[in-house]
Chains A and B, each alone.
Chain A
Amino acid sequence: MPARLRRFDGWRRLCAALLVYLGALALFSVVVALKGGNPFSVWSTMVRSTVLAGPTLQETLLRAVPIALAALAVAVPARAGLVNVGGEGQLIVGAVAATGAGVAIGASVPGPVSWLVMAVAGAGAGAAWAGLAGLLRTALGANEAVTTLLLNFVANDIMLYLIYQLWKDPKGSGQPESRPLVHAAQLPRLWGSQLNIAVLVTVAVAAAMWWLLRHTGWGFALRVVGGNPEAARRSGLPVRRLLLSSMLVGGALAGLGGMLNFAGLELRLRPDITLSFGYIAFLASWLGRHQPVKVVGAALLFSAIALSGNGLQLTDGLDGSIVDVLLALIVAAPLVLTKRRRGAFL
């Protein structure tokens, strides 16, 4: 194709992209109008109530932590061509393991020790959970998209079993919840704000993943495997080990996310601890094209959208769940745009 034409094509695509995104936003405005809201003022409400107000901006950042890490847990295996739909379950087992460790030792060791032990426990549990699906895939050929999805439910049931029975706080309110994490074991706050160190850890981890995927042999090998596993095998790459390693690393990230959310924010294990973060994270990774920096950006965007439900309820009198529609539309836009080349037909 001549260069001039290709450039023209690029511009056309950009215009199409803009139109689709604007269409998505317009569609959301229509839904808002149908519910009696002001389709124009909602946007300023959303921006003001999530990023322009200092304290709420902190909440946006805090909520982005588990979403971002679970999204990276999708992104890393995706580089190797694996589909990890198990962010939800990996977040849960991470939080469960961190609770077990933190509640057991939190009162008897200095804070940094319990942070470290909780992080290792959470990441380890997440890695084991994702690794199980990875192993089922590499050793037995079971599709990992399916097994990770199923393991989400098993993880949730295990957590509920524990907080209903073994770990139930005897001095608690009677609702199923674990004992609280003692103050010394809680993640330290930053500069007297509501933020805690989890936010910095997330940024550091995302940067590390960017570097690992982009500048190391491992990252390159993953890409090769993801691009063409057959060619990778022929060129002598240990494909199975690479696939498994991507799941282990991904799971560890999500497990760490579950731990940070527990030790920094929730401080007790409760039934509602994840709230579909894992599934939102899947979409975030997808929206960010599985590239660490963009993935984290998408997680931040989704966190803000989720939180903007508060502003919409309080200021515009809308149902807070309306933000789920916006979230869907934002991801639907690139889905509409992709004419992805896929395998066998047409």
Chain B
Amino acid sequence: MQRTPRSRLGRVAGALAALAVVAAACSSGTKAASPAASPAASPTASPAGPKMTVGFIMVGNRNDYGYNQAVYTASQAVAKAMPDVKVLTADNVPENTSVTQTMQSMVDAGAKVIFATSYGYFSYALAFAQSHPSVTVLHQGGYQTGAFPPNFGTYWGEAYEPVSLGGMAAGMVTKSGKLGFVYAFPISQTIANIDAFELGAQATDPAAKTYLVNTSSWCDPLKQKEAAAALLAQGVDVLTQHQDCQATVIEAAKAAGKYVVGYHYDARSLDPSGWLTGSAWNWAPVYTDILKTIAAGQFTGSRYNANWVGTFANGDNPLQPASFGTSVTPSMQAKILAAYDALKKPGASVFEGPVTCQNGTVLFAAGVSPTYAQINGINCLVKGVVGTLPGS
């Protein structure tokens, strides 16, 4: 039976190993001789070499017309704006120890600062910061506060405020009074976004209802399509979503001749007439400011060495309203922009009481303007949302 010569494979493996070692030796030899030939010393490097190497890690594809593309675009803007910064990027890195390995590779490649830009990277990023004191690690998604090591921070924006503006647009155009929200996971930021969207919609159509379907994935086109189809069959005429990639939901709305409110990235070009508006991340100013803080040696103890949240009130919310589509008339736009201006006043929030949960309990009493921490602690869906959170 065992006619296959075992030794052959062994010999081949041996030969291969030898080959690999020789190749490595040769190439490292040539590298030392002529650094210009290696891609590591790319033409962007100034003779003195860049002062700071920065790595950006993304969970999805950099061209997803969504969350990850927003990160990638901003990382390239940083590279352009700060000539002495060398930018490394890695995308499609899943939320498990792969991210630790990618961070390690970046450090090996000289990175002193790492932006771990997916929500689920938090624990890996924190652990990595603890074991690599000389590297500054930043997590994008900011939901946890507490005593951070001196080289770690997390950041985010008051996402729900711009999301509520999208809800207003949805409330203005809906005929059925039914809006659809496709989301990935019931994380606190998503719950806040769902509630804010519904509250925004109620501002323009008090009877508007938001129907929920979750996909349990930051990007799974088939599940998104099925979710969108189920919602459209339910009579929904405006779709919105909270996943990383948004082309599927936009395409589903477009095919059905319905409207869509975007999230993460301005994807108006995919369907200019169906696109109402949305919210889009503008991370470059945040990245730049953080890098300047680090370059000045002032990171430890700074506001970024904690849970930093950009807000409209401070004028530094990284999530900004996206452009309007052709179906949103100038008078509608004016109304939305007025609400936008109102949200810029300190203490203003779409969650200003009274806000009630689905089951009728009071979430925020009349006159209460909740804090960011309170809003991120919401674990109920507001009245007008149809659906339940899985696992609750």
Contacts and interface: CB of A to CB of B under 8 A. Distances in A.
B8 A17 contact: yes
Interface stretch (A56-64, A240-248, A252-260): A56-64
A48 B391 contact: no
B143 A173 contact: yes
Contact of A47 (B24, B143, B391): B24
A313 B90 contact: yes
B102 interface: yes
B13 interface: yes
Contacts of B95: 175, 270, 272
Contacts of A311: 105, 109
A317 B13 contact: no
A47 B143 CA distance: 38
A153 B170 CA distance: 39
A175 B187 contact: yes
Contacts of A168: 391
B216 to A, nearest CB: 7
Given A165-B390, A180-B123, A59 B4 contact: no
Contacts of A114: none
Interface in B169-208: 185-191
A302 to B, nearest CB: 13
B39 A315 contact: yes
B120 A270 contact: yes
Nearest to B127: A267
B interface, size bucket: 35 or more
Interface string B8-46: 111111011000100110011001000001111000000
B108 A56 contact: yes
A297 B3 CA distance: 22
Interface in A53-75: 53, 55-56, 59, 62-63
A10 B4 CA distance: 11
Contacts of B28: 44, 48
A47 B144 CA distance: 38
Contacts of B185: 174-176
Contact of A49 (B6, B108, B144): B108
Interface in B86-135: 88-98, 100-102, 104-109, 119-120, 122-123, 131
A164 B39 contact: no
Contacts of A10: 5, 8
Nearest to B101: A59
B1 A53 contact: no
A108 interface: no
B39 A310 contact: no
A283 to B, nearest CB: 14
Interface residues of A, number: 62
B377 to A, nearest CB: 11
Contacts of A23: none
Given A44-B23, A338-B4, A165 B98 contact: no
A65 to B, nearest CB: 11
Interface centre among A44, A63, A227 (most CB of B within 10 A): A44
Interface centre among B27, B90, B97 (most CB of A within 10 A): B97
Interface in A93-127: none
A168 B185 CA distance: 12
Interface in A1-51: 10, 13-14, 17-18, 21, 38, 40-41, 43-44, 47-49
9 interchain residue pairs of minimum CB distance: A174-B187, A44-B27, A310-B105, A47-B24, A59-B101, A165-B391, A272-B96, A164-B391, A17-B12
Interface of A: 10, 13-14, 17-18, 21, 38, 40-41, 43-44, 47-49, 52-53, 55-56, 59, 62-63, 160, 164-165, 168, 173-177, 180, 194, 227-228, 265-268, 270-273, 275, 289, 291, 294, 297, 307, 310-311, 313-317, 319-321, 334, 338, 340-341
Given A41-B38, A173-B120, A307-B105, 20 more contacts: A21-B16, A43-B20, A56-B105, A56-B108, A59-B100, A164-B390, A164-B391, A174-B143, A174-B189, A174-B190, A175-B185, A175-B187, A176-B391, A194-B131, A228-B1, A270-B96, A273-B96, A275-B98, A313-B89, A321-B92
